Amino acid sequence: MKQKAKLLFHTIKYLKFSQVFNRIKRRFVKPAIDMSPAPDVSVVARKLQSVVRRQPRMLNENRFEFLNVIADIQIAADWNSPDQDKLWLYNLHYFDDLNAIKASQRFFWHTNLIECWINENPPCSGNGWEAYPSSLRIVNWIKWILAGNSFKQKWLDSLAIQVRYLSNNLETHLLGNHLFVNAKALVFAGLFFEGKDADRWYQNGLNIIEKEVLEQVLADGGNFELSPMYHSLFLEDLLDLVNIHRAYNKDVISGVKDKILPMFDWLNSMCHPDGGVSFFNDTAFGVAPSLNELLNYAERLNIKKVSEKVKVLVYLQDSGYIRVEKKDLVAILDVASIGPDYIPGHGHADVLSFELSLFGKRVIVNSGTSIYGVSSERHNQRSTLSHSTVVIDEKNSSEVWGGFRVARRANVLNVKTKQSDNDIEVSACHDGYKRLKGKPIHNREWIISKNEIIIKDKITGKGIHRISSILPLHPEVSIINTQDNSVELEVNGKSVKVVFEGSGKLQIVPSQYHPEFGLSIDNKQLINDYNGSLPLTRITKIIW
């Protein structure tokens, strides 16, 4: 109980007053519901450009696949089935399939689904009326109508009821990406409908977006939650806002277009040669559009990205990531905080971790994300042990707990970069373990040359501690030879050697890689354990 109280204190102290106030308010004040008929629909000035098309999620009229889980929706209770994970149910209520690949072929499934949702999800009841799924569904219904699909008056009335309820139920207790998608839905609805209510929705959404886009997009183009997946979703939101404003011949919201190209540059720096994002914080494939899909969408909107010459070293200073690209190598280094102080829920205890691709293939990875909610597996995936960094005394560098909570956090200090003709040197330290006895500080230096990476981990402080250097391997990497302190890997038909210098025990530990929600793939971790007195230095070499 004492430990739980300490975690709560170190979590709550970072929250904004408005978050605490609105969380309490939500317990006692229930949003109003207005069942009035829908306002008139506005006249579109030009056709909405084709949006990003996700993979189909309807397998037949009643069967759905989300998060690699297939289930049928046959009765009203299935919309809120206790047998399904809440995130699966959220996806069910998003209605993404309305605008997915080959959606027109499933037109009758979609019309029946909309009718079924209205009949079986009464106002204010169940997962579907929560603000986040409501926001995504409102946008998807409007996109679907503007794509040329006919809509019944009953459906328009339901849409208007959903918007009114959302406008009184904004997620001001959470802020971040949740509040932004709430505001995006209000803007879509404010343009789609006309009249005083619609004007009020639009202005409310506009005010939130103008404020939040300045806060949530950092100067280097990164989204402030520091997750490549949520960054991609946010970038899609900005492109959608450009699209809907052009459809109604209105000026785009102030600041939105200015952020798009910097966000593309950031995302490009955070991708591997395979085109996929790196797995820092809550990130997985299959949720957000890929970089290429977003680029194609921007091109349809006549937003041209100027191709830049590849840089050997890119330091995204405001978000805290560094990309190094040299011939056969791409390395993405994490010298970032865990996220914004008041909303670190998608943060992992991954500070000073890195991801490495060689010969176009991923080699060293962070372990990804396959689950939300409160469980030991969720905690494990957020833990330092699942990332390519150093664990001290089997503790996390930041105190991740619950499903989306963080108490004491690691602060990154003394970031330095140095580039010469032959080498790239990056160094930083963090104080996340200073709370332990002896006050350890982890200092890490990467020295990257043509065919070698030297990683120097210096742990300062006092006392005897267990130091574990973790290197999770991508599942496609083969281990072909092991010795006392070294491992030979096969990557894309080529040999890569990992050497842990000095005394210590090298273990090859079975683990799992989580590239998608609901998907876990067996892989291996290289773990070098050492018990010793501080200060001490450990050196790891990766040679190819």
Domain range for 61 is 31-201
Task: Compute the distance between CA of residue 238 and CA of residue 297 in angstroms, rounded to an integer.
Answer: 11
Task: Compute the distance between CA of residue 226 and CA of residue 211 in angstroms, rounded to an integer.
Answer: 19
CB neighbour list of residue 335: distance below 8 Å, 6 or more residues apart = 320, 321, 322, 351, 352, 412, 415, 426, 428
Same domain, 259 and 126: no
Same domain, 46 and 108: yes
405-406 vs 412-419, strand pairing mode: unpaired
Largest separation between any pair of C-alpha atoms in the chain: 75
Same domain, 141 and 9: no
Annotate 334-385 with DSSP letters as a single string.
E---SS-TT--TT--S-TT-EEEEETTEEEE---B----SSSHHHHHHHSGG
Residues in the chain: 544
- Is 439 within a domain? yes
Asked if residue 67 lies in contact with residue 87, where contact means CB atoms within 8 angstroms, the answer is yes
- Is 286 within a domain? yes
- Is 17 within a domain? yes
Asked if residue 98 lies in contact with residue 140, where contact means CB atoms within 8 angstroms, the answer is yes
Q: State which residues of the chain have pLDDT below 70.
A: 1, 306-307
Same domain, 37 and 13: no
End position of a domain, from candidates 134, 167, 201: 201
The predicted structure's pLDDT at residue 306? 67
Same domain, 335 and 383: yes
Amino acid identity of residue 282, one-letter, is D
| Residue 241, token pair as written in the block | 């806002």
Residue 275: count other Cβ atoms within 10 Å of its Cβ: 10
- Is 211 within a domain? no
The predicted structure's pLDDT at residue 497? 98
CATH code where residue 417 lies? 2.70.98.70
Same domain, 197 and 231: no
Nearest Cα neighbor of 461 from 393, 414, 518, 521 is 393
End position of a domain, from candidates 201, 231, 254: 201
The predicted structure's pLDDT at residue 304? 83
The predicted structure's pLDDT at residue 372? 97
Annotate 422-461 with DSSP letters as a single string.
S-EEEEEEE-TTTTSTT--EEEEEEEE-SSEEEEEEEEES
> What is the torsional sign of CA 269, 274, 276, 277?
negative
- Is 186 within a domain? yes
- Is 208 within a domain? no
Same domain, 183 and 247: no
494-501 vs 536-543, strand pairing mode: antiparallel
| Residue 254, token pair as written in the block | 């102030």
Same domain, 294 and 169: no
Asked if residue 321 lies in contact with residue 336, where contact means CB atoms within 8 angstroms, the answer is yes
Same domain, 128 and 78: yes
Same domain, 5 and 72: no
Task: Tell me which DSSP letter residue 327 carries.
Answer: T
Same domain, 185 and 91: yes
Same domain, 441 and 461: yes
Residue 478: count other Cβ atoms within 10 Å of its Cβ: 11
Question: What total number of domains does the chain contain?
Answer: 2
- Is 430 within a domain? yes
End position of a domain, from candidates 145, 170, 201: 201
- Is 481 within a domain? yes
